[in-house]
Every structure is written in C-alpha cells, then in structure tokens.
C-alpha cells in the first residue's frame, strides 16, 4: 500500500517512454550536415504544390496566434526527452491562412540546408502540432532549428524539421531524406516504426 506513495519516478514515467527508448540527459542535438544560420529578416516559409502559392515572412508568422506547448520528443536513435517547453504557432492556426487543394494528401517538409521529410496531411493537421520559435523561454537556438522548426510530437523527431522553409502539398506520398535511406515512411514511436519494411 505504501508503494503507491513512494512510487519510483521511473515507473510513473514508463507509460510516457515508448518501447526501445531511454531518457536523454539534457537535450541532444541531432543534425545531418551543417547548421544553417538564418536571420529572421531574410527568413521565409513558402507554400507550393497542391495549394495556393504563398510566402510567409517572419512578421506574418508573429502576427498569427501564439501558444505555449509542452511536448515529449522521441528520436529514432533511441533517446527521448519529456516535457520540452516550446512557444510558437499551432499548425491548425497557421493553416487558416493556407488554401489547400482537396486533392492534396501528403506534404514534403523542406528546410534551409536541403533536409526534407515527408508526412501525411492527417498526421500534419493534428491539434498538437506546432511551428516553434522559442525553446524553454529563449529564442530557439540555431542548432535546435532556429529561427523556426516544425514539431510533430506523435511521430519520431526526424519528422520535426529544423530550419523549416517550405511546405509542398502533394497528390501522393513521396519520400524525404531519411525515408529514402531506409527509415519508415510514417515513424510512429509507440508502434516502433523505425525502418521501412
Ligand atoms: N533540417 C533538419 N531537421 C531535422 C534534422 C536534420 O538533420 N535537419 N534531424 C532530425 C532528427 S533525426 C531529430 S532527432 C531532430 C533533432 O532535433 P534536435 O537537434 O533539436 O534535438 O531533428 C530532426 N529535424
Ligand atoms: Mo532523430
């Protein structure tokens, strides 16, 4: 009975750490290639493909509703970090300013530095997804994807594109950088969707 008052923190967190993952110390940086450094004055986010073409500036983004987020972060290389605190713009709020062709079913996320990753429209348009510009109360550091990254908490973190600069709406699924190199098309951590079949 006393056990329930003296529960080890580890076991109470167990249902938050997906299979095959362990908790990281600090917040590791995982980048393929060099870290781009982009001034917000020069920063843009472009929309194209099966959507009305539009280019958002930093001021456009700042004029959108801003929200705080606490989210768990799971890298496929087996580390997880719980309760990461971010601030930014909800994907669903952002998307009120984007006109998408109903034939679009998939998205390619594009980045400064040419990284890409793909995501279905359904996985993208979830209430809990967001574009982040602030991490633990500070401007998002360049190594973590500043000035702006996407965060998709319910998928492995390679879907959370750092230095995001484009969203391409597609009529069918296409593969991004890691997905072409053997990683799973979707990447759901609780199902351990690490590699493609
Ligand atoms: N543009 C870009 N985005 C990226 C990556 C990258 O190499 N380039 N790495 C991905 C991977 S594999 C992970 S785990 C997370 C790591 O984010 P962090 O470096 O902020 O921890 O970013 C993802 N987004
Ligand atoms: Mo990762």
2 Cα to the center of ligand 2, angstroms: 39
Q: Is the CB of 148 under 6 A from ligand 1?
A: no
pLDDT at residue 102 tops 80: yes
197 Cα to the center of ligand 1, angstroms: 23
pLDDT at 14: 79
Give the chain's domains with CATH numbers.
40-184 (3.90.420.10)
Smallest-distance ligand from the CA of 136: 1
pLDDT digits (tens, 9 = 90+) for 42-85: 999 999 999 999 999 999 999 999 999 999 999 999 999 999 99
- Cα separations in angstroms, 113 against 69, 72, 100, 164, 166: 26, 25, 26, 9, 12
pLDDT at residue 119 tops 70: yes
Looking from the CA of residue 164, the nearest atom of ligand 1 is: 1
Rounded to two decimals, what is the model's pTM?
0.95
Lowest model confidence (mean pLDDT) among 7-11, 132-136, 165-169, 191-195 = 7-11
Q: What is the mean pLDDT of the chain?
A: 95
DSSP per position, 150-196: EE-TTS-GGGS-TTEEEEEEESS----HHHHTTB-SS--GGGT--B-
């Amino acid at each position: 009975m006393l056990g329930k008052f003296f529960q080890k923190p580890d076991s109470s967190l167990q249902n938050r750490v997906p299979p095959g993952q362990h908790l990281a110390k600090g917040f590791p940086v995982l980048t393929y290639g060099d870290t781009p450094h982009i001034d917000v004055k020069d920063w843009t986010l472009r929309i194209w493909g099966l959507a009305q073409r539009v280019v958002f500036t930093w001021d456009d983004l700042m004029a959108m509703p801003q929200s705080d987020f606490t989210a768990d972060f799971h890298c496929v290389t087996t580390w997880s970090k719980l309760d990461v605190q971010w601030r930014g713009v909800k994907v669903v709020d952002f998307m009120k300013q984007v006109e998408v062709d109903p034939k679009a079913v998939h998205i390619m996320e594009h980045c400064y530095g040419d990284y890409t990753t793909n995501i279905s429209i359904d996985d993208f348009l979830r209430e809990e997804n967001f574009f982040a510009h602030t991490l633990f109360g500070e401007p998002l550091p360049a190594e973590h994807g500043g000035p702006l990254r996407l965060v998709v908490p319910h998928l492995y973190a390679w879907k959370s594109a750092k230095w995001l600069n484009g969203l391409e709406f597609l009529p069918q699924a296409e593969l991004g950088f890691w997905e072409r190199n053997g990683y799973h098309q979707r990447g759901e951590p609780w199902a351990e969707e690490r590699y493609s079949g």
